[in-house]
Amino acid sequence: MRKLDIFDTTLRDGEQSLEKTLNACQKLELAKRIAKLGVNVIEAGFPASSPGDFAAVQKISEEVKGVSICGLSRCVQEDIDCCVRALSGAENPRINLGLAVSPIHMEKKLKLTSAQAMDKAVQSVKYARKSIGEVQFYAEDALRSEFDFLVKILEQVINAGATTVTISDTVGIATPWQLGELVARLKNTVINIDRAKLSIHCHNDLGMATANSLAGILAGADQIEGTITGIGERAGNASLEEVIMALYVQKELYSIDVSINMKEIFKTSKLISMITGVPISRYKPVVGSNAFWHAAGIHQDGMIKEAQTYQLFDPGIIGAPESKIVLNARSGRSAVRYKLQKLGHSYDRKEIENIYHLFLRYADEKSIVTDEEFNELLNDKRER
């Protein structure tokens, strides 16, 4: 099986989009929880952006072990020096150097020619490598760059010492086909790509970050970047829990070795939601509260007979509560019988049929019938 590295940027790309900035203690608590997942890299923040983020990256570097701690830096010597200082306590520090590579970014934002951008990237990687062994270069807005220039700048930064190079779909413009094709072309065209890992960083502006990430993995990417629950700039990033579980469910297709402690996924997502204040949609894949609820009668009947009929994986795998048969007006007789048994009631077939019709009349006035309400309904029936 092929090895895939997981790069978590919840504390950097995810945190920068929040209404309220996280403090160093909050980021440390989340970093410790994310480390329990078994990710390969935690991008702890952008040290040069503020004293608070410097302190957070420094604290995480000193206290979170067994995982590579990464700091973001612009291709500016002062930023690099700041990042190196913040990471000084890390067991395996990594610096993530970013520079835009698309014509619109180079011309309008950076005010650089392509030659100037190339030189800036190369010199920054060389400078960073003097202090840190793991230097990652991310090509910002790579999906809107000119392919020949992208190839050349990746070759040059690898020659300069970059150990990982990242293709960033910064504005989430790619389709899975485009992302996969780009990764495959780069793998076949960048002459020294065997000397560095190729990483992908996908944004979710068109709702395709997870699909794009999986397409990139299938095409040969060595590292995937994302956030827990998909938080991030604008519409967010690739949801790591979605990518991880897709690789698990489709293991024969991807044949990927992901050393993740999946039982920590649910607890981690809940802690991130609680600390960041970003609610998890009940319909969120993998970790939403509705992800393992079964409400339609046909589905409920199948689930009662065999869980795999309507469920990709056991929720216990990610540490989530067990699947739930939810009683509502669309529930069938199987669900009512199942709920009676779960609540410890015993009735013959004729009584169950009467209870079912009584339940339907009651459920038509409700959205969901809770266990307490169902028991009250049974008590009312006995008293009549």
CB atoms within 10 A of CB 208: 22
3-state class (DSSP) for residue 164? strand
CA distances from 104 to 234, 237, 268 (A): 19, 22, 38
Helix (H) or strand (E) holding 199: strand 197-202
pLDDT of residue 381: 62
pLDDT of residue 301: 76
pLDDT of residue 382: 64
- Rounded Cα gap, residues 369 and 375, in angstroms: 10
Q: What is the pLDDT along the chain (384 residues), one digit of tens a residue?
A: 899 999 999 999 999 989 999 999 999 999 999 999 999 999 999 999 999 999 999 999 999 999 999 999 999 999 999 999 999 999 999 999 999 999 999 999 999 999 999 999 999 999 999 999 999 999 999 999 999 999 999 999 999 999 999 999 999 999 999 999 999 999 999 999 999 999 999 999 999 999 999 999 999 999 999 999 999 999 999 999 999 999 999 999 999 988 899 999 999 999 999 999 999 999 999 999 988 888 877 887 787 788 888 888 999 999 999 888 788 888 888 888 888 888 888 888 888 788 888 888 888 887 788 888 888 877 766 655
**Burial tier of 239 (Cβ tally within 10 Å: 0-12, 13-18, 19+):** buried
Mean pLDDT of the chain: 94
Burial 270-294 (b: 16+ CB within 10 A, else e): bbbbebbebebeeebebbbeebbeb
Smallest CA-to-CA distance from 271 within 115, 37, 96 is with 37
Per the listing, tokens 């000397």 go with 195
- Angle among Cα 252, 253, 258 to the nearest 5 degrees reads 75
* Whether 222 contacts 199, CB under 8 Å: yes
* Whether 32 contacts 14, CB under 8 Å: no
What tens digit of pLDDT does each residue of 41-70 get? 999 999 999 999 999 999 999 999 999 999
- Rounded Cα gap, residues 172 and 201, in angstroms: 10
Burial 10-35 (b: 16+ CB within 10 A, else e): bbbbbbbbeeeebebebbbebbebbb
3-state class (DSSP) for residue 75? coil
H helices of 219-332, in order, are 240-249, 251-254, 265-276, 297-305
- Rounded Cα gap, residues 304 and 132, in angstroms: 55
pLDDT of residue 244: 98
pLDDT of residue 69: 99
Task: Tell me the pairing of strands 93-100 and 293-294.
Answer: unpaired
pLDDT of residue 171: 98
* Whether 77 contacts 53, CB under 8 Å: no
CA distances from 333 to 87, 290, 340, 356 (A): 60, 22, 11, 6
Structure tokens at 341: 């048994």
- Rounded Cα gap, residues 98 and 82, in angstroms: 15
pLDDT of residue 296: 79
- Rounded Cα gap, residues 29 and 240, in angstroms: 19
- Ordered domains of the chain (ranges, CATH): 2-276 (3.20.20.70), 293-381 (no CATH)
> Is the C-alpha dihedral spanning 141, 108, 230, 15 positive or negative?
positive
